[in-house]
Amino acid sequence: MSEHDYSRCQSLLASLSEYVDGTLGEELCADIESHIAGCRDCHIVVDTLRKTIHLYHTTTAEGASVPEVVRERLYRTLNLEDYLT
Amino acid sequence: MSENTFKVVSIEALRSGDRLEFACLVEAYSGQIYRLALKMLGQPQDAEDVLQNTFLKAFQHIQGFEGRSSLSTWLYRIASNEALMLIRRKRPETPLVDLTPDEEEGDSFAPVNLADWCCLPEDELLTSEGRLRLDQAIQRLPEKLRIVFLLRDIEGLSIDETGQALDLSETAVKTRLLRARLRLREDLSAYYAERLGERRK
């Protein structure tokens, strides 16, 4: 991030999570957008951060399941084996 | 996680000891609790221990559930504590997770890897090796960042719910989440930059 005022890049980083989540206030959003329009490095950080989160969300959306043997042992431990289907 | 995804579990029925209702609770939430434990601990046997202990404790303490948080947040709170306690038991030399204030860590925010790998198509990003790398990157996070990332970004709790589950302030959750995400970005960037390099050869 040598082409720009490094402290500016650094200060915007603190708001990046909320920026990519869409929960940042309008004014700070505009600040970030104006900065990344002229700072390629920060632009890449924003894009790859967003993509990182997206990849985790994508794999998570594929579901959560308990292996059948683990499920059976869980129900037995809890004395709920009558309800195993 | 949205509570609307599942059949609404009656807290009154749980408190009265209704076993069928408890089976419904287990059926509705065991997948998420197991996923959290597995990604937190990295070992199926440890994850199973946490899964069982979470529901055993939920059974034992349902009378004390006051409804200040949602049922799912309460279960995540029990599971998070169980997972963190298991980590401490296995590595007693590890400092207690929350003793170090965030601002004293000297943890740099500055990104190092600036490869632009967003252009890689999704099927190249999510190969079986890529998926393994995603999981390994989570495992490399310090525990206190890992648990925040898992609750917020994998289990989908809000910032407020994550704070309730871990007894953390909103500011602490946000700080840890940002640090976790930036570390993961760094880790994945190192991996995908190599894939990008191979592609250009």
**pLDDT tens profile B98-143:** 545 554 444 556 888 999 999 999 999 999 999 999 999 999 999 9
Single out the residue of A15, A22, A10 nearest to residue B178, CA to CA.
A15
Q: CA A64 from chain center: how many Å?
A: 18
Output the CATH code of domain B102-200.
Answer: 1.10.10.10
Residues 6+ apart with CB under 8 A from B117: A48, A51, B125, B188, B189, B192, B193, B195, B196
CA distance B159 to B156: 9
Task: Return residues 16-45 of A near B (CB < 8 Å).
Answer: 16-18, 41, 44-45
**Among the four given CATH numbers 1.10.357.10, 1.10.3720.10, 1.10.1740.10, 3.40.50.720, the one describing domain B3-90:** 1.10.1740.10
CA distance B79 to B77: 5
Q: CA B124 from chain center: how many Å?
A: 25
Single out the residue of A66, A23, A83, A4 nearest to residue B173, CA to CA.
A23
**Helix or strand holding residue B20 (H, E):** helix B19-41
What pTM, to 2 d.p., does this model score? Answer: 0.91
Residue count (chain A): 85
CA distance A5 to B42: 41
Residue B193, CA distances (Å) to B9, B116, B118 in order:
46, 8, 10
Residue found by looking up tokens 């700072």 in the block: A39
Residues 6+ apart with CB under 8 A from A20: A46, A49, A50, A53
Residue count (chain B): 201
How many percent of chain A have pLDDT more than 90? 78
* pLDDT for A85: 81
**pLDDT for B96 beyond 70:** no
**pLDDT for B6 beyond 70:** no
SS3 B111: coil
Residues 6+ apart with CB under 8 A from B178: A13, A14, A16, A17, B109
Q: Where are the beta strands (DSSP E) in B20-158?
A: none
CA distance A51 to B3: 27
> Which residue from B35, B44, B185 is facing A48, i.e. has the nearest CB?
B185
Calculate how close chain B gets to A22, using CA atoms only, in Å: 13
Which sequence spans correspond to the domains of chain B? 3-90, 102-200
CA distance B113 to B110: 10
Q: CA B54 from chain center: how many Å?
A: 14
* pLDDT for B177: 97
List, for residues B24-51, the tens digit of each pLDDT value.
999 999 999 999 999 999 999 999 999 9
CB A75 within 8 A of CB B50: no
CA distance B134 to B46: 20
How is residue B37 written in tokens? 């434990």
Residue found by looking up tokens 């195993």 in the block: A84
Q: B114–A75: do the CB atoms touch at under 8 Å?
A: no
Residues B75-85: what's their mean pLDDT?
Answer: 98
Q: A47–B116: do the CB atoms touch at under 8 Å?
A: yes
Query: What residue in A sits closest to B135 (Cα-Cα)?
Result: A56
Question: Does A2 reach chain B within 8 Å, measured CB to CB?
Answer: no
Instruction: Please give the angle made by the CA atoms of A18, A24 and A29, to the nearest 5 degrees.
Output: 110
How is residue B167 written in tokens? 């007894």
Q: In this complex, how many residue pairs, one in chain A and one in chain B, have their CB atoms less than 8 Å apart? A: 110
Question: Does A58 reach chain B within 8 Å, measured CB to CB?
Answer: yes
